[in-house]
Amino acid sequence: MAVFQHITQSVRVLLIALLSVPVFAGLVGVVLPAFGYFPALNAFDFNLGVFKHLFALESIVNMTLLSLLTGLIATALSVASAFLLLSVFYRSSYLNRLQSWLSPLLVLPHAAAAIALLFVLSPSGLLASVVSNAVSVFSSGAENLSNTQNVLPPSWEFPYDRFGISIIVALALKELPFVFLIAVSVLSQPQVKRKFDGYFNSATALGYAPVTVFFKAIFPVVYSQVRLPLLAVLAYATANVEIPLLLGPNNPPTLAVAVVQWFNHVDLSMRFQASAAALLQVVVTLIAIGIWLIGENIIERVQGRFYTNGSRYTGQMFASFVAYSVVASYSLLALSIIISTTLWSVATFWTFPTLLPEGFTLLHWKTTLSALAEPVKNTVLLATFVSAFSVLIATLALEAEALNRQDNKRSEYFNRWVGGVLASTLFLPLLVPGVAFLYGLVWFQLTYFNDAVWLHLFISHLVYVLPYVFISLAVAYRKFEPRYIQVAYGMGKSPWQVFVHIKLPLLFAPLLVAFALGVAISFSQYLPTVLSTGGRIATVTTEAVAAASGSSVRLTAVYVLVQIFMPLVGFVLAWWLPTICFNPMGRYTLLRPRKSKL
Amino acid sequence: MTKSNSFFLVFSYFLSVALVRTRLFFMLGVSIFFMPAQAQQNEVSDQNSVRSPVVQFHAWGGSAQVNGYIQWVSEQVHTQYNITLNHVKLADTSDAVSRVLAEKAAGNDSQGSVNLIWINGENFAAMQRNGLLLEDWVNSLPNFALTNPSRNPAMITDFGIPTHGQEAPWGKASMVFYYNSRFVQQPPLNLPELLRFAKDHVGRFTYPLPNDYLGISFLKYAAIALNEKDRDLLYQPVTKTALAHITQALWRYLDELHPLMYKQGEYMVRQASQLQRLMGTGELLLAFSFTAAEIPSAVNRFDLPESIRTYAMEDGSLANVHFIGITYNTESVTAAKQVVNFLLSPQAQAKKQQLAVWGDDSVLDFSMLSASEKALFKPAAKHTAALDTQKAVPLFAEPHSSWTDALRQAWFLRYGERF
């Protein structure tokens, strides 16, 4: 076996280690204090006292239920609407356009999304202003408009409502693009696509409506392939911190928010409780996954009749209605977010319910930009290194997989085993709640390499960036036309030469997209950054969350815009560069299939 | 064989050996990632010792004015003393406290990541209890004498606890209220009037959770104002009977107030800064603050409407001093002390008191200053939203520090574990 193959195989194992070691080390650092062992606080006895204390809390049931239900409902909503969208648009020319519109939302950090929703949906937001103006116009005629001078913002439930509906709305809005794009990426794999085209043609010939074809023939296949990413979404939704922190109730909050608050509590003995609660969070996430799987099972049992009932138009009306309303509300929301955030960032005085500020100023931009030079530098530097490293590792690991597929004689058992472990390890950092392992990881980092701040930061970002980069690249790698490689081998080229001279140039566009995605994921990390550096290295996102806890709506708006803008630069570069260098595949947008021939 | 091939040969040899011996493999993996960062780290600290010492100043970073002032300070100490002062902007000061504790737990006793820390009474008490602060350094600062500590005991006591030279005073504050005069003609001037105001304007007043500094301050203010006769109980260490006695009137008041507050008191803001944000959007009509000067400057930055007016409650105003501490594991103590000494200089204190900068009251005793130094503090022009300083209001001193935890715990017990 050539040297190059050895390297790729080793990198594949390295990838597993890079993802699993930090997560498991972090979990150990949380499990020990949860069972009463924490040398720093002179606690050496293992016992269950911490858990007893945790379960004695009056609000623990509420917190647990809030985490569980908001996560489950939000995920169910986003999955349902994503597939309804897909069922209506999967054969339509709008599909590509939808993808390009939804891709930027994918890279919008959760914190920024939550803050942006506040601008639109809070009682003094754009929506309330529009409603209030409309009401006054309709009730008293346009000439009395000056009466709106002394109108107070209404008191409605969003945000901070006690049932977590605000959290559900924000999570569902944020997760829908992810679910949609993952499903589209499966649909656009050439071999899958060929199969589905066949299904579609036969079913249409039998008189089935396109939406019904989707649900009866295509959905079951697509769903089984996107299951793991969906579970990652669910895990994230039950354990995420930023959105419930910014939009959720606090009497009580979700469990993940409570964990963070307890870990940061002045009273250090709260760390025991925090660790125990972090483990409880893992259990909550597992329960959510369990409920999801049971739900799948139930649907599987009852679906048999649905497939064979012969009805040709099931869901046609409903799906179209939902899909168009989702598209309409998304467009409206995106538009109003952009308008109101931009206006706030340049507003002087702005009294409810007037639709425009009294004047415009660049003061807030000046204040922010002068403070942002250092964080922007840190953010860009870190994201570039983490993402470049991830792309390198992911490419080599995928190359190992491809090489294994070619000669499956050698060490087949080992390779298949590694492949299996790799597939599940990829989702490990996405399935284990960040609040559960990051605190433990920090403990290890402090104990062993306290000075290597950038290293800690690098590793905690890598854990989140690497899986996404790998998944994004894997799609392109598996779509790669094998005949190019066969021809090159036929001419006597080595795997290394094929890799460098054929694959890399042809994959230039997806490599750049994966790199941009990695950069965007790194940009958006809040908890890993704060915890692993202890605030010594500020990034744009940590500054933005600090600003969101500050007193100025206007400065927050500037931060949100900077957060939207930065990852976009990466993606624009990723779309534009391939049009000028190595251009065999042409413009390649995120996960976009080549134009359908049908 | 090309160059790159031979490089890969060496590299893969290492990795395949490592694959056989897993332990070595992990070590190699770790060292690969560790080496570049470690090298960089050494380079930085080498530069430090040659060029300028770095001081990490951990301070709450939610206010543009405070951040701007600290920015100015770091420019000054850089030009005057060649010290690099880095402001670590905290969302919550307790983050830094737990950071120092984690370092102590991990045995890092000389190279802490937190050097200077801006603390209030409670975090000070926690840090002092755990031995996280450098001891007995304040008296050696030349400018500390200007605070005249023998005449002003507030400079050496923090919430009833003697500071033992572990923290230096930085500024002074007292609680003020502000309202939106566009909707409110007559603001409430005492607690009973506040309740009447809440009835007239349902949902337009709230206070932060007691985990927040301003939130617990509101509870203290209410506890003091509602217990006029037994006020001295609050200035002694708390006892069970004293707590029961003091909270009796307090709960009666809050039980009535909560349903009339923002979100019916169901959701209460976590941070004081959120109060100002809600005042800015018009969702609240009355709020309060510990820094009177932040209100006119927020109006200047358009964050509060022009119709905002500031005043002090007539039944009394809670007042206290805030401090700077140096952590026990600070590497360059001399530089850290130089920074604090600069913070106490008439130049820096006068700059801080300017309304346009921060507006935080000076801790210096004017009788200790020369005429030219006094001239630095000349008042700026009056702002419509600024507090009328001519009006004398009784100042409530901070209750004994044991009351902070006791009141907070009692509150959470009664109104639920909120975070």
Query: Vertex A195, ends A193 and A198: CA angle to 5°?
Result: 110
Rounded Cα distance between B239 and A489, Å, is: 86
Interface with B, mutate which of A549, A553, A555, A559 (most B CBs under 10 A): A549
Structure tokens at A4: 């190059």
| Any A CB within 8 A of B2 CB | no
Please tell me whether residues B215 and B133 are part of one structural domain.
no
Tell me how far apart the alpha carbons of residues A481 and A396 are, in angstroms, rounded to a whole number.
18
Instruction: Report, as an integer, the average pLDDT of A550-576.
Output: 85
Q: Does the distance separating the beta carbons of A10 and B301 come in below 8 Å?
A: no
Place of tokens 């309060």: B288
Tell whether B401 and B288 lie within a shared domain. Answer: yes
- Residue A466 pLDDT more than 50? yes
Convert the pLDDT of each residue in A10-64 to its tens digit: 888 888 888 888 888 888 888 888 888 877 777 777 888 888 888 888 888 999 9
- Report CB contact under 8 Å: A551, B277: yes
Task: Report residue A152 as tokens.
Answer: 């107070």
Kindly tell me the sign of the dihedral angle through the C-alpha atoms of A222, A228, A229, A234: positive
Q: Does one domain contain both B188 and B308?
A: yes
CB count, 10 Å around CB of B74? 18
Cα–Cα dist B175/B313, whole Å: 9
The pTM assigned to this predicted structure is 0.77
Q: Domain check: are B327 and B315 in the same one?
A: no
Q: Specify which of A163-167, A353-357, A590-594, B62-66 reaches the highest per-range mean pLDDT.
A: A163-167
The SS3 assignment for B153 reads helix
Please count the structural domains in chain B: 2
Residue B42 CB burial class (10 angstroms; 0-12, 13-18, ≥19): exposed
Do B260 and B399 have their domain in common?
yes
In a domain, B19, yes or no: no
Asked if B210 and B222 sit in the same domain, the reply is yes
Residue A162 scores a pLDDT above 80 = yes
> Do B105 and A454 count as a contact with CB atoms less than 8 A apart?
no
Reply yes or no on whether the pLDDT at B4 is more than 60: no
Inside any domain, residue B116: yes
Distance (Å) from the alpha carbon of B263 to chain A's nearest alpha carbon: 8
- What tokens does A485 get? 């490689």
Across chain A, what does the average pLDDT equal?
83
Angle at B346 between CA B340 and CA B347, to 5 degrees: 90
* Residue B111 to residue A551, Cβ atoms within 8 A: no
Residues of chain B by 3-state class (helix, strand, coil), percent to 5: 50, 15, 35
The answer for residues whose C-beta is within 8 angstroms of residue B75's C-beta and 6 or more apart is none
Contact in structure between B76 and B348 (CB atoms under 8 Å): yes
Instruction: Check if B130 contacts A (Cβ < 8 Å).
Output: yes
| Inter-chain CB proximity B113 and A546 less than 8 Å | no
Gap from A167 CA to chain B (nearest CA, Å):
14
Q: What average pLDDT does the segment B164-171 reach?
A: 93
Helix (H) or strand (E) holding B396: strand B395-397
Residue, of B26 and B358, whose pLDDT is higher: B358
> What is the average pLDDT score of chain B?
82
DSSP string, A482-496: HHHHHHHHHTT--HH
Q: Return the number of other C-beta atoms located less than 10 Å from residue B71's C-beta.
A: 14
Report how far residue A194's alpha carbon sits from residue B258's, in angstroms, rounded to the nearest whole number.
Answer: 63
Does residue B37 form part of some domain? no
B409 — contact with chain A (CB < 8 Å)?
no
| Mean pLDDT, rounded, for B396-411 | 87
A252–B419 CB contact, under 8 Å: yes
- Specify the pLDDT at position A411: 62
Residue B241 shares a structural domain with residue B370: no
Do B194 and B161 share a structural domain? no
Partners of residue A7 in chain B, C-beta under 8 Å: 8, 11-12, 15
Cα–Cα distance list, A452 to A28, A388, A441, B32, B237 (Å): 21, 20, 14, 13, 44
Helix axes B22-50 and B3-20, enclosed angle (nearest 10) = 120
Say how many CA atoms lie within 13 Å of A228 toward its Cβ. 13
- State the Cα–Cα distance between residues A593 and A188, nearest whole angstrom: 5
Asked if the structure places residue B384 within a domain, the reply is no
Number of neighbours of residue B334 by Cβ within 10 angstroms = 11
3-state SS class at A58: coil
Closest residue to A4, CB basis, from B8, B103, B271: B8
Tell me, yes or no, whether B99 lies in a domain: yes
- A74, A149 contact by CB (below 8 A): no
Together in a domain, B254 and B401:
yes
Q: Given pLDDT bands bounded at 50, 70 and 90, which one contains residue B45?
A: very low
Tokens of A32: 């020990």
Distance from CA of A269 to the nearest CA of B (A): 11
Whether pLDDT at B388 is above 60? yes
CATH code of the domain containing B354: 3.40.190.10
Q: Can you tell me which residue has the tokens 């080229």? A: A493
Mean pLDDT along residues A373-394: 92
Residue B165 belongs to domain spanning: 52-171+320-375
Whether the predicted pLDDT of A396 surpasses 70: yes
Count CA within 13 A, CB hemisphere, residue A401: 22
∠ CA B199-B204-B206, rounded to 5°: 100
A353 cis-preceded (ω within 30 degrees of 0): yes
Contact B27/A at CB under 8 A? no
Find residues 351-380 of chain A whose CB sits inside 8 Å of chain B.
Answer: 351-352, 361, 363-364, 367, 371
pLDDT tens digit string along A109-149?
A: 888 888 889 888 888 888 888 888 888 777 765 555 444 45
The reply to whether B416 touches chain A by the CB within 8 Å rule is: yes
CB contact under 8 A, B106 and A443: yes
What is the predicted pLDDT for the residue at A141?
55
Residue B83 has pLDDT above 80, yes or no: yes
> In sequence order, which residues have a C-beta less than 8 Å from that of residue A274 and are 6 or more positions away?
A33, A259, A262, A263, A265, A439
For the segment A166-188, the average pLDDT, to the nearest whole number, is 88
Nearest by CB: B61 against A3, A268, A546: A546
Alpha helices in B187-281, H assignment, sequence order: 191-200, 213-226, 240-257, 272-281
Q: With an 8 Å Cβ cutoff, are B96 and A535 in contact?
A: yes
Taking only the tens place, the pLDDT of each residue in B217-261 is 999 999 999 998 888 888 888 999 999 999 999 999 999 999 999
Tell me the shortest Cα–Cα distance from A211 to chain B, in angstroms.
44
**What is the pLDDT confidence band of residue A410, given thresholds at 50, 70 and 90?**
low
Same domain for B89 and B155?
A: yes
ipTM above 0.95, yes or no: no
DSSP state of B361: B
Cis peptide before A159 (omega within 30 of 0): yes
Q: Is B22 helix (H, G, I), strand (E, B) or coil?
A: helix
pLDDT tens across B344-382, in order?
Answer: 999 999 999 887 788 788 888 878 888 888 888 876 667
Rounded to whole angstroms, the Cα distance separating B251 from B246 reads: 9
Give the count of alpha carbons within 13 A of B249, CB side only: 18
- B277 and B157 both lie in a single domain: no
> Collapsing DSSP states into helix, strand and coil, what is residue B170?
strand
Could you tell me which of A218, A227, A246 has the C-alpha nearest to residue A87?
A: A218
Confidence (pLDDT) at B398: 82
Residue type, B314: E
| Contact between chains at A6 and B61 (C-beta distance less than 8 A) | no
Closest to B238 in 3D by CA, of B249, B246, B250, B227? B246
- Asked if residue B15 belongs to a domain, the reply is no
Size of interface A-B (CB pairs under 8 A): 218
3 state DSSP class of A372: helix
DSSP E strands, B61-185:
84-90, 116-119, 157-158, 161-162, 167-174, 176-180
Chain B touched by A266 (CB under 8 Å): yes
Predicted pLDDT of residue A294: 95
CA separation for the pair B112, B193 (Å, rounded): 49
C-alpha span between A514 and A574 (Å, rounded): 9
Backbone CA torsion sign across A103, A105, A106, A112: positive
Q: Please report how many Cα atoms fall inside a 13 Å half-sphere around the Cα of residue A566, on the Cβ side.
A: 29
Any domain includes B356: yes
Nearest chain B Cα distance for residue A500, angstroms: 12
Q: Are residues B167 and B206 in the same domain?
A: no
Which residue, A344, A323, A305, A312, is CA-closest to A129? A344
Q: How far apart are the first and last CA of chain A?
A: 43
Residue of B43, B408, B419 best to disrupt the A interface, most CBs of A under 10 A: B419
Half-sphere exposure at residue A506, Cβ-oriented, CA atoms within 13 angstroms: 15
In a domain, B202, yes or no: yes
